[in-house]
């Protein structure tokens, strides 16, 4: 009998051509906290979803509590004492807080009849333990993102698990909520519970982890006790080289003013945002998840109607717009953060994806000119080195990085003056990421202004000429290049009294 509560041995997994995991092995002892780190797309979530029974591994074995596990369903995994807090919020928004917390394992009498009293009282107790007070009858759709994250954590706690996986639980928590989370982790560990903790915030990892596993490009780099690591070493393990090398720079001077937004608000969290954008620069937007960065991007692009304020170009006769079609005409482009649901036409060919916004250029009287189209698609493929079997391949069968390039290619073809990139490197592997950075710089060199939203602080700091920080729907500060530090940004982004009211 081993001392490990969990062993995942030689796990491999690929998705439609993307090798997400290759021969990865991890081992966990009871009552320990394991940090799992790695870049975007390194395979952390995939590994945990395999553990959860949500995906089936292509190869490898899982030994849990001394027993080899075969093809368990999500429900069986939960029953066996493993609970997972997923990276993407996993709640049914129409259902109430309490129903979500106990979904799948409701306290019940005979015949599946629910014990509603217990459902609500136990939910309330769990939430109290997390230090928040919420009406457990409220549907989740009414909660803020941070509240939802806490409900997720409550859901995991409710399962009385022996092993809890937390996939970036802190991404949207700050201040007291975060402290509360850590103290709960401590008390769980005291009770012998094992925690696997995934986070991009390395400070947290150093604060709570006993041991750290690094993944890169789907492969295991190393597992080391925390006391044998320092921050620069860990980063180097993750990235494979010193950090500052990966951000290409250009030496251009600040161009002329191209676009201004004045006191814009939309029907979302976004309130009273103003910004100026200059030719050839990258304006970084930083903030916690849910701080309204995506809403800002959508408002700038005319995708959400403005309730007040104005966005206009200074060039191009001061054009302004009220919907995406007009924004595109005026020279804007938006690469949305959610590629699958907002950026890509997965059931259509790469060709159609690329030329969709520029149909007027490749048609004569509404009729497509295939030669013109072929040339454009071929050129785009060359320029971004997109790997695909043919231009007629459906987008869904391309790898994530190539999908993202496809979306970028589409917008570059519109010859924009302003490009808004919302999380442009999310889910993109490290090589492609580097190419995207280079591409952004090439755009700058052509005088194109870029707004870049990113949750990765090093990326924002490394790439941006200026950085705006958002907090609870407002722009709360600005850093010039070289002035920004992670700590400085986080401080502004998590400041509690900037109008934010989380609970």
Footprint of ligand ATP on this chain (CB under 6 A)? Answer: 15-16, 18, 20, 38, 40-46, 87, 145, 268-269, 287, 289-295, 337, 400, 423, 427, 429, 455
Stretch that binds another protein, among 163-171, 256-264, 358-366, 454-462 (CB under 8 A): 358-366
Near another protein by CB under 8 A: residue from 103, 178, 243, 314: 103
Q: Work out whether 246 is an interface residue with another protein (CB under 8 A).
A: no
- Picking from 286, 353, 246, the residue whose alpha carbon sits closest to that of residue 494 is 286
Round to whole Å and give the CA distance between 143 and 89. Answer: 12
The minimum distance between CB 494 and ligand ATP, in angstroms, equals 13
| 38 vs 424, beta carbon nearer ligand ATP | 38
DSSP 95: S
The minimum distance between CB 296 and Mg ion, in angstroms, equals 9
Q: Is 489 in a helix, a strand, or coil?
A: helix
DSSP character string of 156-187 = HHHTT-SEEEEESTTTT--HHHHHHHHHHHHH
Near another protein by CB under 8 A: residue from 45, 399, 464, 471: 399
Q: Work out whether 262 is an interface residue with another protein (CB under 8 A).
A: no
- Which option in another protein, ligand ATP, Mg ion, none does residue 43 bind, with CB closer than 5 to 8 A by kind? ligand ATP
β-strand partners of 224: 212
| 103 vs 145, beta carbon nearer ligand ATP | 145
Residues 6 or more apart in contact with residue 173 via CB below 8 angstroms: 146, 149, 150, 181
| 121 vs 397, beta carbon nearer ligand ATP | 397
DSSP character string of 284-323 = EEEE-TTSSHHHHHHHHHTSS-EEEEEEEESSGGG-B-SS
The minimum distance between CB 435 and another protein, in angstroms, equals 8
Near Mg ion by CB under 5 A: residue from 26, 33, 42, 45: 45
Query: In this structure, are residues 470 and 293 in contact, taking their beta carbons and an 8 Å threshold?
Result: yes
| 440 vs 493, beta carbon nearer another protein | 440
- Which option in Mg ion, ligand ATP, another protein, none does residue 27 bind, with CB closer than 5 to 8 A by kind? none
DSSP 232: H
Q: Work out whether 4 is an interface residue with another protein (CB under 8 A).
A: no
- Which option in Mg ion, another protein, ligand ATP, none does residue 427 bind, with CB closer than 5 to 8 A by kind? ligand ATP
Stretch 274-333 residues interacting with Mg ion (CB under 5 A): 293-294
Query: In this structure, are residues 382 and 439 in contact, taking their beta carbons and an 8 Å threshold?
Result: no
The minimum distance between CB 41 and Mg ion, in angstroms, equals 8
Query: In this structure, are residues 463 and 261 in contact, taking their beta carbons and an 8 Å threshold?
Result: no
The minimum distance between CB 140 and ligand ATP, in angstroms, equals 9
The minimum distance between CB 108 and another protein, in angstroms, equals 6
- Picking from 345, 349, 344, 405, the residue whose alpha carbon sits closest to that of residue 374 is 349
Measure CA of the first residue to CA of the last residue in the chain; give whole Å. 46
Near another protein by CB under 8 A: residue from 9, 27, 65, 105: 105
Residues 6 or more apart in contact with residue 441 via CB below 8 angstroms: 248, 249, 250
* Residue 15, CA distances (Å) to 51, 335, 502 in order: 16, 23, 37
What residues line the site for Mg ion (CB under 5 A)? 45, 87, 293-294, 337
């Amino acid at each position: 009998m081993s001392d490990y509560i969990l062993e995942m041995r030689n796990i491999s997994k690929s998705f439609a051509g993307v090798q997400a995991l290759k021969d990865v092995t991890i081992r966990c002892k009871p009552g320990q906290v394991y940090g799992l780190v790695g870049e975007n797309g390194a395979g952390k979530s995939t590994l945990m979803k395999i553990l959860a029974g949500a995906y089936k591994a292509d190869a490898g074995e899982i030994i849990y509590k001394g027993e080899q596990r075969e093809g368990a369903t999500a429900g069986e995994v939960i029953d066996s004492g493993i609970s997972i807090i997923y990276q993407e919020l996993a709640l049914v928004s129409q259902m109430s807080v309490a129903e979500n917390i106990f979904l799948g394992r409701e306290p019940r009498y005979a015949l599946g009849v629910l014990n509603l009293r217990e459902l609500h009282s136990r939910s309330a107790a769990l939430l109290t333990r997390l230090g928040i007070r919420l009406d457990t009858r409220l549907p989740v759709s009414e909660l803020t993102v941070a509240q939802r994250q806490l409900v997720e954590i409550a859901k995991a706690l409710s399962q009385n698990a022996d092993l809890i996986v937390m996939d970036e639980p802190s991404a949207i928590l700050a201040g007291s909520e975060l402290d509360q989370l850590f103290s709960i982790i401590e008390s769980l560990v005291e009770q012998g519970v094992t925690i696997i903790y995934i986070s991009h915030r390395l400070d947290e990892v150093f604060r709570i982890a006993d041991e750290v596993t690094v993944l890169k490009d789907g492969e295991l780099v190393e597992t080391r006790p925390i006391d044998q690591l320092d921050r620069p070493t860990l980063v180097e393990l993750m990235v494979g080289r010193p950090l500052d090398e990966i951000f290409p720079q250009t030496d251009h001077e600040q161009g002329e003013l191209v676009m201004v937004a004045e006191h814009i608000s939309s029907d979302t969290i976004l309130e009273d945002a103003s910004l100026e954008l200059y030719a050839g620069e990258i304006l970084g937007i930083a903030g916690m998840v849910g701080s309204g960065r995506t809403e800002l991007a959508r408002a700038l692009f005319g995708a959400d109607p403005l309730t007040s304020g104005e966005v206009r170009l200074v060039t191009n006769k001061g054009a302004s717009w009220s919907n995406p079609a007009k924004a595109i005409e005026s020279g804007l482009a938006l690469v949305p953060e959610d590629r699958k649901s907002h950026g890509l036409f997965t059931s259509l060919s790469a060709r159609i994806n690329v030329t969709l916004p520029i149909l007027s250029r490749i048609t004569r009287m509404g009729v497509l000119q295939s030669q013109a189209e072929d040339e454009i698609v071929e050129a785009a493929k060359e320029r971004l080195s997109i790997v695909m079997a043919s231009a007629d391949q459906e987008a869904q069968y391309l790898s994530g990085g190539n999908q993202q390039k496809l979306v970028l290619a589409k917008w570059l073809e519109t010859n924009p003056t302003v490009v808004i990139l919302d999380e442009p490197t999310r889910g993109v592997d490290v090589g492609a990421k580097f190419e995207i950075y280079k591409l952004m710089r090439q755009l700058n060199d052509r005088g194109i202004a870029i707004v870049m939203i990113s949750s990765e602080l090093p990326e924002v700091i490394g790439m941006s000429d200026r950085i705006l920080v958002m907090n609870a729907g407002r722009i709360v500060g600005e850093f010039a290049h070289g002035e920004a530090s992670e700590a400085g940004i986080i401080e502004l982004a998590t400041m509690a009294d900037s109008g934010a009211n989380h609970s």
